[in-house]
Structure 1
Amino acid sequence: MGFKAFRIDRDDKAQGGVRAGFVTMDEGELDAGDVLIRVVCSSVNYKDALAATGRERIVRRLPCVGGVDLAGTVVRSAAPRFQPGDAVIATSYEIGVAHHGGYAELALMPGGWVLPCPAGLDLSEAMAVGTAGLTAALAITRMEDAGLKPERGPVLVTGASGGVGSLAIDMLAGRGYEVVALTGKAETSDWLRSLGATRVMLRDELALDTVRPLDKAVWAGAIDNLGGAVLSWLLASTKPTGVVASVGLAADTVLNTTVMPFVLRGVSLLGIDSVYAGFGVREKAWARIAADLRPRHLASIAREVNFEALPEVFESLVAGGSRGRTVVRIASERQNKDET
């Protein structure tokens, strides 16, 4: 029996040389894997929107079902860790980029890419967190391992209105940190405060063209989604032995800085990789997401849309017209249980 999927295909006449839309597939078209999953939910990341709209060359193999995140129930498994009916999640790796992803009613995944849905989170909540929340949790864990504590001082989160940023603010505030949000969207200020930000800074108010090698030391830590000049400024204004986690490159891939923050203040710059992070690292992060890093405001951060709304969501996201997270409802959990 066929199933519905949102697939990205080659089209040399379309933007970026790709076109995307709903198709009917059969199980034989899926990529190799050990765990067959009936998908309940996926999510929309900026990466997903760029891939589906042809804005960037994200997808490395065409055709490819989009969606780097998925959550659902096991239909069958050759991996002994899973049994039919188990609630599971899978995020990043090659999913939605070089392996058919989460925008389909069925997904076949390598067993090493699949995790049990953490106790205390349902499938929709897991996708409200998704790769964005995993990235935030990995950053916070690495920063705390490097010595960050609430009493050290304020932590800045850049790209604050996005998925990673909003979840990071919620998680950090829940841990007792003084969190400052940096955003380019003034209209989100009240919302960011409701998530736990004690102060909101606007990006266009920064004098990024006059940043000195060492500026006034303000931040005990930072989670940066932007890169470029903002990251240079952050490094120059971080306190001695402070920690900065680089998680994104939404503004620029180029970093112009000096060694002075590192050798005169002992600042640490941590690179956060949520795509190929190892299984044990992911397990630890998801355990924290379901416990001490559990977001307190998921209902405010995430909205849910039905499968058919995907194209509209992509366009809104690349145009900068969305905030937080978007969960895509592929099928109801009741329907999955009945069919498994």
Structure 2
Amino acid sequence: MPTFQAFYVTENADKTFSNQIIERSTDDLPAGEVLIRVKYSSLNYKDALSSIGNRGVTRNFPHTPGIDAAGIIEESSSDEFSVGEQVVVTGFDLGMNTAGGFGQYIRVPARWVVKLPRGLRLKESMIFGTAGLTAALCIDKLLQNELTSDKGKVIVTGATGGVGTMTVMILAKLGFHVVGVTGKPEGEVFLLNLGAKEVISREAVNDQSGKPMLKGIYAGCVDTVGGNMLATILKSMQYNGVVSICGLVQSPELPTSVFPFILRGVSMFGIDSSECDLEWRKKMWKNLAKKWKPKGIQNIIKIVTLKGLSKEIKKILKGGQVGRVVVRL
């Protein structure tokens, strides 16, 4: 069986974690109906956590992270897929407790695999990756609940991160007035270039007044942050405002009341791209390949090899990543 290179995280005797690039055999990979030769992956915050031994992401080490992978089928025992087909795998257990996309091969269950839709190249699919899929699911939920561009502003928190970047670009493509929130000095120019109409600081959405309600400003929101920022935005939603939430980088706590929901009819939806319905997942990938595909997505990426991953992992853990990091295998 083929040997291949993989980014390998190991636990040391002193309970610290280190990584190296090693040679592995496809015989070492877990069971699954589909063997995929990985061409591209991408770096997500969850990958960085796995790389430093976070047990909430990965229980057992040594391990190869990478929750995203795009490549070509090498072997298949599934009637759904044929050798040579281009495919995408994101989420499920990939890169968490199943050897992930930071290796040149993965073996996974067929139900995790989506055929690459027309209009999308393998590299482009990893510019989107889990971040783009999550953004698409968040936006689709807003649209399902009758949010339209004429109803008002849509605010996006964590706007320079992976999900935030993709959300800003897609919403701008769809004609929405996007307000991006960032704490990065370089974030304003970056977000305006993506299509945001306004950029505000984190402090502007960190209400400490204790008031149960604030002036209604936003018709929609995609929140990747949680905590008091989300609570502030909920108090600042217009009547019948719609909020999609998908992250908790500030806090999993939500210090709010029921007032936004019962006095202004605000709706809030949690989004999980890891285990979401397969048909919804396929629909979103088709949208990303066609009508939702922003122009200029090639301009927001940095491409690295396995050798460059360690540096980028340190950067994303410090909150310094802007845009998307694509890993070329």
Aligned partner of 1:92 in structure 2 is: 91
Partner in structure 1 of residue 179 of structure 2: 180
Contact map agreement 2:205 2:233 (CA 8 A) in 1? no
Q: How far did residue 221 of structure 1 move? A: 0.3
In the other structure, the counterpart of 1:33 is 32
Q: Structure 1's 211 and 186: CA in aligned 2 closer, same or farther, altered over 3 A?
A: farther
State the partner residue of 1:219. 218
- Quote the residue 2:287 is aligned against: 288
Q: CA deviation at 1:211?
A: 4.6
Aligned AA (2:229): V
Secondary structure of the structure 1 residue equivalent to 2:166? helix
1:79 CA drift (Å): 1.1
RMSD: 1.3
Report how many aligned residue pairs link the two structures.
Answer: 328
Deviation at 1:27, TM superposition (A): 1.3
Match for residue 9 of structure 2? Answer: 8
- Moved >4 Å (runs of 4+): none
- Residue 14 of structure 1: how far off its partner (Å): 4.2
1:273 aligns with 2:257: no
Moved more, 149-158 or 311-320: 311-320
- 3-state SS in 2 of match to 1:208: coil
1:23-62 equivalent positions in 2, closer than 5 A: 23-54=22-53, 57-62=56-61
Equivalence for 1:156: 155
The offset of 1:9, in angstroms, is: 2.5
| Structure 2: 5+ residue stretches without partners | none
Give the 3-state SS of the residue equivalent to 1:112 in structure 2: helix
Deviations 1:114-162 (A, max 9, x none): 0111111110000000000000000000111011110110000000000
The residue number in structure 2 matching 1:75 is: 74
| Superposed displacement of residue 13, structure 1 | 1.5
1:191 is displaced (CA, Å) by 1.1
Q: Is the 8 A contact 2:3 2:25 kept in 1?
A: yes
CA distance in 2, matches of 1:121, 1:283: 13
Deviations 1:235-274 (A, max 9, x none): 1000111101111001001001111111111000110001
Cα displacement string for residues 273-321 of structure 1 (whole angstroms, at most 9, x for unaligned residues)? 0111121110011111112211222122222112211111101111222
Deviation at 1:58, TM superposition (A): 1.8
Matched residue, 1:22: 21
Q: What TM-score do you get using the length of structure 1 for normalisation?
A: 0.94
CA distance in 2, matches of 1:143, 1:8: 38
Query: Paired residue for 2:243?
Result: 244
> What amino acid maps onto 1:109 in structure 2?
V
Contact 2:31 2:108 in 1 (8 A): yes
The amino acid of 1:35's aligned partner reads V
Q: Identity, % of aligned pairs?
A: 38
Shift of 1:207: 4.4
Match of 1:335 in 2: none
Give the Cα separation in 2 of the matches to 1:306 and 1:229.
Answer: 37
Change (3 A) 1:35 1:207: closer
CA pair 6-147 structure 1, distance change in 2 beyond 3 A: same
Equivalent position SS for 2:186:
helix
- Taking the aligned partners of 2:22 and 2:69, their CA distance within structure 1 comes to 18
Task: Report SS of the residue matched to 1:58.
Answer: coil
Distance across 2 between alignment mates of 1:19 and 1:59: 14
| Contact 1:93-1:113 within 8 A present in 2 as well | yes
- Alignment partner, residue 333 of structure 1: none
Over 3 Å counting, the alpha-carbon distance change for 1:13 and 1:57 in structure 2 is farther
Structure 1, 319-328 or 296-305: larger mean CA deviation: 296-305
